[in-house]
Amino acid sequence: MKIYASHFRTMLCVAAAAIFLVSSCSLDLFESQSSTPVTQTVAVSSGSYIKVNSNTTTLRLTGLSSNNVYLMKYNPTDNAINASNTGYVSGTDSVSSESQRTVNTASATAGVAAGIPSGVFSVGPDTVVRYDNPEATAFNANPLPLRKNAGRSAAVTEKSKSTIGDSSHAVGATESFWIQNSDDSWTQTSATLRAVGTYCYVWVCNDNYDDSSTSGTDDKITTAQAEAAAAKFDTIYPPETAVFGAKYDEDNVYTNLVSPSDKISILVYDIDGDYSASQTGGTFGFFWSKDLYTDSYLQTTPYDFRSNETELFYVDAHFLDAYAGGIYSTLAHEFQHMLEFVHKNIENSVSPSTWYNEMMSMVCEDMMQSYLNISDDDSPKSRFRYFNYYYPYGMTYWRSGTDVLISYANAYAFGAYLARNYGGAELIHEIASNHSVDMDSITAALQAQGYSETCTSVFLKEGQALVYTDSDWRKTIRRSTNRSRIPSAVMNLYSLLLTLRTTA
């Protein structure tokens, strides 16, 4: 019989090199596009996979009996590949049934809204969706150049810093912070130090503080809530710095960067000025590397930004008030961004792509979950709901708007698989500390840990792990998600792109 399959428009699964994955099933004949007929014949066994040659027009598989065959197209590059430039199945012989999943990338936003009503995670009747700060994300991916100190003494350099991170502060101290308004203008707001941790300060904007508040939806933070956030950060600081590297300490190396602070500052305020009592979506927090540049230097650049001249990240008052667990995970996430800027941009003069940086932050959240004592819904594991629907949309292309939830999910899924199957904390530490970024960093870390793999080969094996159903592959999938309930949802999805059942 003959079956005609549609083209697949997707980043992750579209590629110039198609792969046939054979689990407990298979088929007899595949035919794909090419100008010159070339037949590739392969004898297979259950649980094997075959890489289709680029010039193959017909693939003949032997040694099969009532098995399923999965076609997986993969694209390990940073570029989208048009479906018309890839192979596809145009017809088959000796196949009894067929199913396929066609992806339309043009309707991703509508699909998120309609296809995943549960959002990123649910708390009681609420659906809570976490977004990024697009300007901070863009700046962090392409920061301003660093100006090397040409041997001048500290007394005559341009270096400066605010007093925000000084160790002399006590609870009740006040400082002014630059924040961005909803219209993108900048204003200074007063904040009071409400909690002092071993490694951090928690500053709360005065408009968002009320120590008598008993509501979880009034956008008001109490001293107890600030102290709880400081305690959580103190808990994760030692293990997070052990894996992702020490805090900023590059004093007198670059003239346009501030001097190191004594403590990390966390500013709590109404991010984007979008608070409402019923708010269940928005920016939980962000790190913006502009704050490590001197404000005087920023004023000489085309950017209309202001620097707080300290080691700082921001969290939203409403979400700390209403969904504290999600904010605790955000502390780990944003601190990793800060550490990555220090060790990649400052120390090694390389700029990581957003997908790589976010992957590392979500793996960090994952690793810190037990230290924070938070639920899966408050952790990045909640993002698997998006991955289950939108795995073909790719990992390296960073989307915007609602679609960014797909990018987060797919980047995290790869990072979770990578960490659980290739060395855990040791591998992640190697990725965080080596001299490169993106796929090169992952490949270098794998090989430094004694693996013969590359980022591309691990990416391919992630796809295989999501297809195979025998006990060994199930173990791999289970390890890649750390929860047995997740693999069942993943396995229900993966007919991967095209599943065919052969006749006996």
Which residue in this structure is represented by tokens 């001097």?
A: 259
Q: Which helix (H) or strand (E) holds 287?
A: strand 285-287
How far apart, in whole angstroms, are the C-alpha atoms of residue 282 and residue 258?
30
3-state DSSP assignment of residue 96: strand
Q: Which two tokens stand for residue 193?
A: 């130090």
Q: Which two tokens stand for residue 414?
A: 């790869």
Q: Dihedral of CA 23/25/28/33: which sign?
A: negative
* Nearest residue to 280 via CA among 392, 118, 393, 420: 118
How far apart, in whole angstroms, are the C-alpha atoms of residue 405 and residue 127?
14
How far apart, in whole angstroms, are the C-alpha atoms of residue 367 and residue 376?
12
Q: Which helix (H) or strand (E) holds 363?
A: helix 354-372
* Nearest residue to 377 via CA among 128, 111, 112: 128
Q: What is the separation, in whole angstroms, between the first and last Cα of the chain? A: 14
Successive 10-residue mean pLDDT values, the chain, 504 residues: 27 34 36 64 71 77 70 70 65 61 40 44 64 93 90 50 85 97 92 98 98 96 98 96 93 89 97 93 96 96 95 97 96 98 96 97 95 93 84 83 88 92 92 97 97 91 71 36 27 31 35
pLDDT number for residue 238: 94
How far apart, in whole angstroms, are the C-alpha atoms of residue 48 and residue 371?
39
**E-assigned strand segments in 169-272:** 174-180, 186-196, 200-205, 264-269
pLDDT number for residue 186: 96
Q: Which helix (H) or strand (E) holds 49?
A: strand 49-51
Residue 175, beta-bridge partner list? 191
Torsion angle defined by CA atoms of residues 473, 477, 478 and 483, in that order, rounded to the nearest 10 degrees? -160
3-state DSSP assignment of residue 130: strand
Cα 199 → chain centroid: 25
Q: Which two tokens stand for residue 405?
A: 């939830």
Strands 68-73 and 49-51 turn out to be: unpaired
Q: Which two tokens stand for residue 15?
A: 């590629």
How far apart, in whole angstroms, are the C-alpha atoms of residue 132 and residue 134?
6
How far apart, in whole angstroms, are the C-alpha atoms of residue 483 and residue 78?
30
- Assess contact for 69 and 502: CB atoms under 8 A: yes
Residue 101 CB-density burial (10 A; 0-12 exposed, 13-18 middle, 19+ buried):
middle
Contacts of 15 (CB under 8 A, 6+ apart): 73, 74, 75, 76, 81, 86
How far apart, in whole angstroms, are the C-alpha atoms of residue 380 and residue 415?
11
Q: Which two tokens stand for residue 348?
A: 């090694």
* Nearest residue to 493 via CA among 415, 409, 420: 409
Q: Which helix (H) or strand (E) holds 42?
A: strand 39-43
- Assess contact for 223 and 194: CB atoms under 8 A: yes
**DSSP-derived secondary structure letter, 261:** P
How far apart, in whole angstroms, are the C-alpha atoms of residue 366 and residue 354?
18
255, amino acid identity? T
Q: Spell 163-199 as b/e; 16+ CB within 10 A means b.
A: ebbeeebeeebebebbbbeeeeeeeebebbbbbbbeb
How is the beta sheet containing 49-51 ordered, strand by strand? 49-51, 18-22, 68-73, 498-502, 95-100
Contacts of 259 (CB under 8 A, 6+ apart): 159, 160, 161, 251, 252
pLDDT number for residue 357: 98
pLDDT number for residue 18: 44
How far apart, in whole angstroms, are the C-alpha atoms of residue 252 and residue 161?
12
42, amino acid identity? V
pLDDT number for residue 96: 61
pLDDT number for residue 98: 55
Which residue in this structure is represented by tokens 């997986």?
A: 72
- Assess contact for 58 and 40: CB atoms under 8 A: yes
Which residue in this structure is represented by tokens 């007899």?
A: 28
pLDDT number for residue 392: 74
**Helices (DSSP H) in 202-253: which residue ranges?**
223-244
